[in-house]
A and B are shown apart, each in its own frame.
Chain A
Amino acid sequence: MVRKFLAIVLVLLVVAVFGAVKISVLCSPDNADALKWLAGEFMKQNPDIQVEIVPLSWEVLYPKLLQDLRSQAGSFEAFTYDVMTTGAVSFGLEDLGEFMKKYASLLPADFDIDDFIPQVLEESGKWQGKLIGLPFYNNTMLFYYRRDLFEDPKLKQAFKEKYGRELTLPVTWEEVKEIAEFFTKKFNKNSPTEYGIALMFPRTHTLFYMYLLFFGEYRNAPLGIMKHGAADLEYGEYFTADHKPAFNSEEGLKALEMMKKLMPYSPDPLGSDYGETIEYFNQGLVAMVPQWTGPYLIFKSTIGTDKVGIIPMPGRSVSGQWALAINKFIPEDKKVAAFKFITFATSKWADKQKFLRFAVAPARMSTLKDPEVRAADPRVPALEVTYVSQTHRPRIPEEPRLEDITVETFSKILAGTLPLSMDTLNDLAKKWQEVLGK
């Protein structure tokens, strides 16, 4: 009897293993743990589908994806992609809108597409009118500060004496500059921290984001909007409303000037990337740092929740979203399996769970409104504000290349080997036109 039972179980197992549709999902290491956990939950509910998560570091992920899609090799059924590469990889992504019509019954019960934050769905999901991705990692930049220092009565008193105003949370970069000076030992020997603010202006893509934090403040101010027009989600704030470079302007110059002005209050801004600035803040070397949503976990565990404050970025934040999509060049049954998985991984339930368990920033309004989520995480109020006011990188196919030439020029300006002048920015704009083929 027992033997017979075991035999049946064995047969069932064999069927499950060999009959299963196998899909592999390429992702950046940032999301690997959340996706692995979601894949486990998914397979419990769908034993006929096997999901394998393949983490690959950021620098390698985009070229790998592009090559795989161009050669139509189909090595990965689904993948997360950085939204700035949307235009470049869009040709290889399945039209999810069509898919949803065709397989409406496959959608999870709590998959309400109108529940996604509209701007996020637009940026993460849509390309030229089609739905090609689902918002997975709604990353953005927040401004972290040492609450204990900002609330210290003695420091507040000293600040007021020195600057003639209260030590308040900064709203503009000009205010940040004053506070950063106050918290830098070199300029104020009573400062509790060595430096005021940790900034990262390295040679990597980071600098392309960082510039928008500053440029956004001037570019999206009323006067900036009047001159350049409102930015759209395809071209982003780097461009004017009629898709010409917007940075070779007074606003663009002002942003770089501000970045340069802040550098004396920052430890090694040109040699630091995310990893370094996290450590500077972590070790109490600085009083403020702009960072992504994720490092909060680190700050929480080392500095403590009561000492870390979070506010929306002075100036503007910048979105760093990642979306989930399906490879167009794979057989239909694999597409269906991949579709089941990515809708599962972006459902209401998953959106909340991945935020609570893995701090993967939420993309749904229901998650932001959820009382349990709000009680658990102090980032939510800042996130809510940020998601509707943040700036955006271009998503056009030429983005990666524009990014590289821009970072090189900005890096040289900040290092002082190129003059900080309109001519330099005009030269860069000329290079942009060459890349854009206009």
Chain B
Amino acid sequence: MKNKRLVPWLMVLPVLVLFLSMTIYPFAFMIWSSFRQYDLSKGAETRFIGLANYFQIFSDSTAIESFKFTAKLLAVAVPTELLLGIGIAFLIRGVRGEKIIRSSLLVPMMVPAAVSGVAWKMLYNYAFGPVNWFLSLFGISKISWLGDMNYAQLGIILIDVWQWTPFVFLMIYAGLQSVPQDLIDAARVDGADWGRVFLHVEFPLLRPLILVALVLRIIDCLKTFDIVFMTTWGGPGAATHTYSFYVYKVGISFGWNIGYASALSVLLLLVSMLLVNIVFRLVRMRQQLGFGGEER
């Protein structure tokens, strides 16, 4: 009987050890150093400075701007990806060549972000890029995709949509495959048209899945880094600084200001925890995982 209780713990042990060793220390280190002056460009020694690092954030206009752009990315890119992903999943269902189309649409999510940054940088080239060439067919004059505040932001959002819509599409498509055909047939027999089947049968079934996709996209969107690193480098001005990119610059790129970067990180972590907590409630995470609520 003792064995019965021990074995499940043994089974979670590897994950538990991994996470405790790999996250507790970084977490503690981050909190500790966020209260200290810890700046490798000045020296290896550290010094307690209270909340100074935290206060600095509020007067740091770049930090605030990067926060705003990250929020914009969340507010524009994520919903677009969800809508497009869902739309495409329905659109290609039952179409001739479905399998090939499906495989093709999945490609962007597998392309490493560094590589997509390279590809898009070529596409966005002002004078020779295919994007501006395509627009010129419609009489639109050349756009500075990397040098204009608004277009650079749009440019980053577009890359994000390109990269991640396929992931949402894949999840929804996978979900659609497991909607029991008899439910749809039954609705059809009752005289429901395509729209009604979607609204009353498929959508309610897909709702939890859509919310899972939403959670995953929110989490990953807050981490956006490599695309910016490879294309705009945060410019012009601070227009396309994502928060992660800014923390990278402070914490590593411009001389390892670890103390201040830690304070910025703590803030990021608090915000993502808050956001995800809200979404977890929305998706009723506990029930999904089989805790609380009725057991299905």
The answer to whether A and B touch directly, with their CB atoms under 8 angstroms apart, is yes
* Chain A positions near chain B (C-beta within 8 angstroms): 59, 62-63, 66-67, 70-71, 88, 194, 202-204, 267-272, 276, 279-280, 283, 285, 397-398, 400-401, 403-405, 408, 411-412, 414-415, 417-418
Inter-subunit contact B256/A63 (CB<8 Å): yes
User: Known contacts A202-B233, A401-B255: does B145 contact A271 (CB below 8 Å)?
Assistant: yes
Inter-subunit contact A203/B236 (CB<8 Å): yes
Inter-subunit contact A411/B126 (CB<8 Å): no
- Distance in angstroms from B219 CB to nearest chain A CB is 26
Majority SS at the chain B contact face: loop
User: Known contacts A66-B40, A276-B125: does B237 contact A400 (CB below 8 Å)?
Assistant: no
Interface string of B136-158 (1 = CB under 8 A from A): 00000010111111001000000
**One of B4-12, B19-27, B246-254, B273-281 at the interface:** B246-254
Which A-chain residue is minimally distant from B149 (CB atoms)? A415
Inter-subunit contact B127/A408 (CB<8 Å): no
Interface string of B57-97 (1 = CB under 8 A from A): 00000100000000000000000000000000000000000
Which A-chain residue is minimally distant from B231 (CB atoms)? A271
- Distance in angstroms from B38 CB to nearest chain A CB is 11
* Chain B positions near chain A (C-beta within 8 angstroms): 40-44, 62, 124-128, 142, 144-149, 152, 229, 232-238, 249, 252-257
**Hey, which chain A residues are within 8 Å of B142, CB to CB?**
268
Which B-chain residue is minimally distant from A410 (CB atoms)? B237
**Hey, which chain B residues are within 8 Å of A194, CB to CB?**
127
Inter-subunit contact A59/B235 (CB<8 Å): no
Which A-chain residue is minimally distant from B127 (CB atoms)? A267
**Hey, which chain A residues are within 8 Å of B42, CB to CB?**
397
Contact of A70 among B40, B152, B252 (CB under 8 A): B40
A203 to B146, CA, bound (A): 10
Inter-subunit contact B41/A268 (CB<8 Å): no
CB within 8 Å: A-B pair count: 106
Inter-subunit contact A203/B256 (CB<8 Å): no
Contact of B148 among A270, A404, A418 (CB under 8 A): A270
User: Known contacts A202-B235, A412-B237: does B40 contact A285 (CB below 8 Å)?
Assistant: no
Contact of A276 among B44, B126, B229 (CB under 8 A): B126
A383 to B165, CA, bound (A): 52
Inter-subunit contact A88/B238 (CB<8 Å): no
A362 to B255, CA, bound (A): 29
**Hey, which chain B residues are within 8 Å of A268, CB to CB?**
126-127, 142, 144, 146-147
- Distance in angstroms from A210 CB to nearest chain B CB is 13
Inter-subunit contact A271/B256 (CB<8 Å): no
Inter-subunit contact A417/B149 (CB<8 Å): yes
Inter-subunit contact A270/B144 (CB<8 Å): yes
Which A-chain residue is minimally distant from B125 (CB atoms)? A276
Inter-subunit contact B237/A271 (CB<8 Å): no
Contact of B235 among A63, A270, A397 (CB under 8 A): A270
Inter-subunit contact A279/B128 (CB<8 Å): yes
Indicate the member of A204, A267, A268 with the most B CB atoms within 10 Å. Answer: A268
User: Known contacts A267-B127, A417-B149: does B41 contact A400 (CB below 8 Å)?
Assistant: yes
User: Known contacts A63-B252, A270-B148, A417-B149: does B237 contact A70 (CB below 8 Å)?
Assistant: no
Given A270-B144, A400-B253, A403-B254, 12 further pairs, Cβ under 8 A: A63-B255, A202-B146, A202-B236, A203-B232, A203-B237, A269-B147, A270-B235, A271-B148, A272-B147, A276-B126, A401-B254, A415-B237
A83 to B257, CA, bound (A): 21
Inter-subunit contact A411/B236 (CB<8 Å): yes
**Hey, which chain A residues are within 8 Å of B233, CB to CB?**
202-204
Indicate the member of B232, B233, B235 with the most A CB atoms within 10 Å. Answer: B235
Inter-subunit contact A411/B235 (CB<8 Å): yes
Inter-subunit contact B249/A404 (CB<8 Å): yes
A140 to B57, CA, bound (A): 37
- Distance in angstroms from B266 CB to nearest chain A CB is 21
**Hey, which chain B residues are within 8 Å of A279, CB to CB?**
125, 127-128
User: Known contacts A88-B255, A415-B237: does B40 contact A267 (CB below 8 Å)?
Assistant: no
Inter-subunit contact A67/B256 (CB<8 Å): yes
**Hey, which chain B residues are within 8 Å of A88, CB to CB?**
41, 255
A276 to B146, CA, bound (A): 11
A280 to B142, CA, bound (A): 15
For this complex, 17 residue pairs linking A to B, each with C-beta atoms less than 8 Å apart, are A59-B253, A62-B253, A63-B255, A66-B255, A70-B40, A70-B43, A70-B44, A203-B236, A267-B127, A268-B142, A269-B147, A276-B126, A276-B127, A397-B41, A401-B257, A411-B236, A415-B237
